[in-house]
Every structure is written in structure tokens, then in C-alpha cells.
Amino acid sequence: MKFLELLTKHATSIIAFIVITLCFAVLMSIIFYDFPSEQKDIYFTISGGVLSIITMIISYYFGASKNEKEPN
């Protein structure tokens, strides 16, 4: 039961960590994969979407969603 309580308490952090890890895996595969030059726009679009996901997660944790009760 202790594990489930801990998992429930930190669920958003765990999900954010998993999403950021998968996003970096996608970016690294795009960087190191030798893709055809006629499809480069598709890969740039995918990398832009992945970077926007990472930006949203980071802005959630360090941005306006911080508790007002926390000292600065």
C-alpha cells in the first residue's frame, strides 16, 4: 500500500519524466538517423513538435503552476 500511495502522490512527476525521456529518444534518433534529404521537412516538423512538448512540461514545473505558498 505504501508503494501505491507514493505512486499516486508523484504520478505527474513520473509521467513528465517518462515523456521527456521518450522525447529525447525521438530527438536523438532524428539526429543520428541518416534520413533522405527529400523528407527532411517531415523530420524537422516532428522535432519541432517534440521540442514544444518538452517546453510545455518544463514551463509547467518551473512556471506559473508553482504554488504561491512556496517561498521564492
Task: Say yes or no to pLDDT of 13 above 70.
Answer: yes
3-class secondary structure, 16: helix
Residue 30 lies in a domain: yes
What confidence score (pLDDT) does residue 70 get?
Answer: 56
Residue 20: give the domain boundaries. Answer: 2-62
Name the pLDDT band for 29 (thresholds 50, 70, 90).
confident
Rounded Cα distance between 47 and 41, Å, is 10
DSSP letter at 41 equals H
What confidence score (pLDDT) does residue 32 get?
Answer: 87
Residue 37 lies in a domain: yes
Instruction: Provide the number of structural domains found in the chain.
Output: 1
Say what the pTM is. 0.64
Rounded Cα distance between 44 and 30, Å, is 9
What confidence score (pLDDT) does residue 64 get?
Answer: 63
Rounded Cα distance between 40 and 61, Å, is 32
Per-residue pLDDT reduced to its tens digit, 31-70: 888 878 888 888 888 888 888 888 888 888 777 666 655 5
Residue 69 lies in a domain: no
Residue 67 lies in a domain: no
**Could you tell me the three cell numbers for 38?**
527529400
Residue 72 lies in a domain: no
